[in-house]
Amino acid sequence: MRRRACAGWLAGSLLGRGVQAQERVWRIGILRPSAPPIASDTTWTGIPRALRDLGYVEGRNLVLEHRYASGNTDLLVPLARELAAARVDLVIAVSAGAVRAAREVSATWPIVMFGNFDPVALGLVTQLARPGGNVTGVLIAPDGTLAGKRLELLRQLVPSATRIGYLSPPPDASSAQQAAEARRAAGELGVTLVEADVREDDYERAFAALMAQRPGALLVAAHTLFVRDRARIIALAARHRLPAIYEWREQVQDGGLMAYSTSLTWAYERVAAYADRILKGARPADMAVERPSKFELVINQRTARALGLTLSQPLLARADEVIP
C-alpha cells in the first residue's frame, strides 16, 4: 500500500515538474528608433519590469528581443524583419516609424504601439475605439502630441521670450506632426519658432544653429532619443542659459527645468497590460487604443534659480510637483 502511495506521489511530482518544464516561453520584440540606453538609465527598464509584474519573467517564460535603430529610421524595417526571423509572438513598437516598419513586415502579427502621435491621422489604425487591424496600444496624449500645450506652458514661464527654439529629432511621421503643432501654437501665441533638428547625435551643432537665432527659451520635442540623451541636452540648455520644457518627469529630475506629460510608469504598465491581454487571446482589432486622462506638470525649482527665473504663483499652483 505504501509502495503504491509512494509511486503515486512520485508520479504526481514528476507530472508537476513536467507541466512546469513545459510552461510556454513567449517571445516579445521591442522595436525602438533610438540607440541602446546606457546601463545606468533605469527609464528603459520600465517595460520589462511591468511585464515581470504580470508574470512574464525573462529566463523563465519570456524572451525579449530588443532592436534599436540608433536614430536611423531607415533601419527600422530591416530590424523588424529580424524580429520576424526571431519568430516573436508580439511586437511592442515605440514611435510611429516603428509601427509602420512592423506593419510593413507583417500584416498579421500583433503590434502594441506606444508613442506621441495620432495613429488615425497616420493611417496606422482605422479608429481609436476599434482599430480594426493588427495594431493597438497606448498613446501619450489624448489627441495630438502635446507640443502646443508645452509651448504654452513655456511661454507662461518666460513671457518675455518672443523667439522660442525647437529641438527636433531626425524627421519621421511623429516628429513632423509635433513640429506642425508647435508652429501652429507659436502663431497663436505670437512668438517665432526657430527650429533645429539633431542629426547623427550631433547636439552641439543643433544647439549652435538654435543659438544663432537668439531664442529666449527652448521646447524639446518628445522622442525616445531625447530621453536617452537627456543629460547632454540638459547640460547644453544650462550652458546656453535656455529655459527648456521636456516631455517626461524623469528629465526634470535629472536637471531639466520643466516637463508636461502623462506618467512614464503608467504608460509602461499599460503597454505591458495590452501585451498580456493579446498573449492570452485578445485581438488587437477589438482593443480600443488607450489614451491618458491625467497629466502632470513638473518644475525644477533649483534649475529655475540657476537660470535667474522667478516662478509665478499661478504656475506654481498649477504644478503637480515642484522639485526643490
Residues 174-186 have pLDDT tens digits of 788 899 999 999 9
User: Are 184 and 310 within one domain?
Assistant: yes
User: Are 279 and 302 within one domain?
Assistant: no
Q: How many domains does the chain have?
A: 2
User: Are 86 and 46 within one domain?
Assistant: yes
Q: Single out the residue of 155, 110, 119, 151 nearest to residue 138, CA to CA.
A: 119
Residue 21: band (very low, low, confident or very high) from pLDDT cuts 50, 70, 90: low
Residue 127: band (very low, low, confident or very high) from pLDDT cuts 50, 70, 90: very high
Angle, CA of 170, 144 and 157, to the nearest 5°: 85
Name the pairing type of β-strands 217-220 and 135-139. Answer: unpaired
User: Are 71 and 153 within one domain?
Assistant: no
User: Are 51 and 99 within one domain?
Assistant: yes
Any domain includes 6: no
> 139 pLDDT exceeds 70?
yes
Q: What is the pLDDT of residue 324?
A: 93
> 148 pLDDT exceeds 90?
yes
Q: Is 214 left (phi over 0), alpha (psi -120 to 50) or beta?
A: left
272 vs 4: which has the higher pLDDT: 272
User: Are 167 and 301 within one domain?
Assistant: yes
User: Are 162 and 231 within one domain?
Assistant: yes
Mean pLDDT of 239-262: 97
Question: Residue 223 is placed in which grid cell?
Answer: 522622442
Q: What is the pLDDT of residue 72?
A: 87
Range of the domain at 40: 24-140+263-286
CA 280 – CA 191 distance, rounded (Å): 50
Residue 76: band (very low, low, confident or very high) from pLDDT cuts 50, 70, 90: very high
189, 151 Cβ separation under 8 angstroms: yes
User: Are 257 and 269 within one domain?
Assistant: no
Q: What is the pLDDT of residue 23?
A: 84
Residue 1: band (very low, low, confident or very high) from pLDDT cuts 50, 70, 90: very low
Q: What is the pLDDT of residue 136?
A: 98
Q: What is the pLDDT of residue 100?
A: 95
Residue 315: band (very low, low, confident or very high) from pLDDT cuts 50, 70, 90: very high
Residue 170: band (very low, low, confident or very high) from pLDDT cuts 50, 70, 90: confident
Cα 117 to its chain centre, rounded Å, is 11
Which of the residue ranges 199-203, 266-270, 320-324 would you say has the lowest mean pLDDT? 199-203
User: Are 47 and 177 within one domain?
Assistant: no
Which of the residue ranges 7-16, 137-146, 258-267, 293-302 would you say has the lowest mean pLDDT? 7-16
Any domain includes 16: no
Q: What is the pLDDT of residue 19?
A: 46
Q: Single out the residue of 201, 294, 308, 183 nearest to residue 257, CA to CA.
A: 308
CA 274 – CA 206 distance, rounded (Å): 37
CATH number for the domain that contains residue 109: 3.40.50.2300
> 22 pLDDT exceeds 80?
no
Q: What is the pLDDT of residue 39?
A: 74
Residue 38: band (very low, low, confident or very high) from pLDDT cuts 50, 70, 90: confident
Mean pLDDT of 271-277: 98
The DSSP line for 240-278 is TT--EEES-HHHHHTT-SEEEES-HHHHHHHHHHHHHHH
User: Are 109 and 76 within one domain?
Assistant: yes
User: Are 155 and 166 within one domain?
Assistant: yes
